Structure 1
Amino acid sequence: MGMKVRWWRWRRNPLRRRSDAVEAWVVLVTSVVMAVGMPLAGALSSVRVGSVLLQQRQEWHRTSAVLTEDAGDPGPGTYARTWAVVRWTASGDSVRTAGVRVAAGSRAGARTVIWTDGQGRLVSAPLTPGQAVALSAFAGMLAASGVALSLLAGRRAVRTVLDWHRAGLWERAWALTGPRWSGSTPDNAPGPGQEGPAVPPP
């Protein structure tokens, strides 16, 4: 009995309205798309992020830089690193400068190691392989969750519109049926022996 009630929207019966069939198809389509789209979006996002991180590890490299100023001494309760301006030679023998974190107390002329990309621009240190795997997996989870939330929100919006439509049908049906209970029958109300509006199961 429970299965019959659960699948009543898919069976031809006098209680099924057109909006019920539409809702059943929307639920079916979104469920199929979710089952296929979530793992697909997650896999594609994970592969894309992993590819970018792998390219960074391959193209970014350590570069020797020279401090152009003395680095300040660490204050009480601070880390033993501070900001200072360094200079390095990029591709094409162009000289570049930028502020980076260096060991506190370093003097001008001391050397430090920075990371640069293929064009000699300053970048942060690339992620380790373990960090890259974790970030790729997290990106995949976010993509899959985004697909699921989008589909659920769309399905909810369609159902809300259908509920508004069904509420309007119920109001019109009640306008015909209600007066019969109060003793007054409008001209277009169902007469004796005639059936009123079908009431679908919940």
Structure 2
Amino acid sequence: MRGARGAEGARQWCWRWRRNPLRRRDDVFEAWIVLVVWTVMVLGGALAGLVTARAADESFTRLRQDRHAVPAVLAGGTGSAVPAGESAVYDRVRATVRWRAADGKPRVGSALVPSGHKAGTRVTIWLDPQGRPTTPPPTRSAAATESTLLGLGAAVALGGLVFGAGGLARWRLDQRRYARWEREWERLGPQWGHKTP
């Protein structure tokens, strides 16, 4: 019984593809629209997600390779500083620090450091390739999570865009059908009021 219902459902779903006297050219066109939309949503969404996740992962890997940690000394206390919103966890604050550059010259700048320390405390800061203070690179696990989320977001965005475009195409097709039916009704409707001899 269940198999018969499944076969009947498949026949109903595929009626636009089978030859029958009620099938119109618009029905075949609509079937192609549905097939293309679902194919692009599934395959294109998967591809967009993978490409985005891979690009994000490579970007995070580059950040980990480009940024390096150096020892520094706090120029002022961080006990009353306001937490920096750009930190992943709000236990870091922006403070003035002193460190030695790769050429040995002393440098002074603002960097993210752990909160609650006095002036003169040794801390670790992160520098970009130009030697400027920057945020720490994401950890491997954080980068993997963010890459996955970005990939999923790209897949959903592409799927939604394609689904919307398919819906718009089907709506335009329906408008064409309604206009055709209206013309046919105007042509045949008056004949229904006449009695045949």
Question: Normalised by the size of structure 1, how large is the TM-score?
Answer: 0.75
The 3-state SS of whatever aligns with 1:63 is strand
Correspondence for 1:69? 76
1:125 aligns with 2:133: no
1:10-159 matches, cutoff 5 A = 10-73=17-80, 82-91=93-102, 93=105, 95-107=107-119, 109-159=120-170
**Percent identity between the two aligned chains:** 36
Which of the numbers 167, 188, 197 marks the counterpart of 1:177?
A: 188
Shift of 1:86: 1.9
Q: Distance in 2 between matches of 1:24 and 1:80?
A: 56
Q: Is the 8 A contact 1:26 1:155 kept in 2?
A: yes
Give the aligned partner of residue 161 of structure 1.
172
Structure 1 unmatched ranges of 5 or more: 185-191, 193-202
Counterpart CA distance in 2 for 1:23 and 1:91 is 65
Counterpart Cα distance in 2 of 1:182 and 1:87: 96
TM-score relative to the length of structure 2: 0.76
- Distance across 2 between alignment mates of 1:128 and 1:41: 24
CA distance change for structure 1 residues 90 and 182 in 2, over 3 Å: closer, same or farther? farther
Residue-pair matches, total: 181
Q: Which amino acid aligns with 2:163?
A: L
Distance 1:73 1:54 in 2: 34
Residue ranges of structure 2 left out of the alignment (5+ in a row):
1-7, 83-89
Moved more, 169-178 or 81-90: 81-90
Measured in 2, the distance between the counterparts of 1:130 and 1:80 equals: 19
Query: What is the Cα-based RMSD across aligned positions, in Å?
Result: 2.8
> Which amino acid in structure 1 is aligned with residue 158 of structure 2?
V
